[in-house]
Amino acid sequence: MTVLFTGIINDLGEVFDVQEQAAGLRRIKIACGYDPDTIDIGASIACSGACLTVVARGREGNRAFFAVDAAAETLRVTNAGGWKAGTKLNLERSLRLGDELGGHLVSGHVDGMADLIAREDLPEMARMSFRAPHALVRFIAPKGSVALDGVSLTVNETTGDTFSVLIIPHTLAVTTFGALKAGAQVNLEVDQMARYAARLLEARE
Asked about 139 being catalytic, the answer comes back as no
Catalytic residue among 51, 126, 147, 184: 51
Identify whether the C-beta of residue 62 lies closer than 8 Å to the C-beta of residue 53.
no
Which residue among the candidates 118, 154, 173, 197 is catalytic per the annotation?
154
162 is catalytic: no
* Active site (annotated) includes residue 53: yes
Per annotation, catalytic residue among 72, 85, 109, 134: 109
- Known catalytic membership, residue 171: no
The answer to whether residue 109 is catalytic is yes
Q: Which of 6, 44, 175, 176 is catalytic?
A: 44
* C-alpha span between 40 and 54 (Å, rounded): 7
Active site residue 72: no
Cβ neighbours for 37, distance < 8 A, ≥ 6 positions apart: none
Angle (nearest 5°) at CA 48 between 44 and 54:
25
Q: State the DSSP string of 53-122.
A: EEEEEEEETTEEEEEEEE-HHHHHHSGGGG--TT-EEEEEEPP-TT----S--B-S---EEEEEEEEEE-
Query: What is the distance between the alpha carbons of residues 14 and 86, in angstroms, rounded to a whole number?
Result: 6
* Alpha-carbon gap, residue 145 to 141, rounded angstroms: 8
Is 71 a known active-site residue?
yes
56, 71, 141, 194: which one is catalytic? 71
Q: Please list the active-site residues.
A: 5, 44, 51, 53, 71, 109, 154
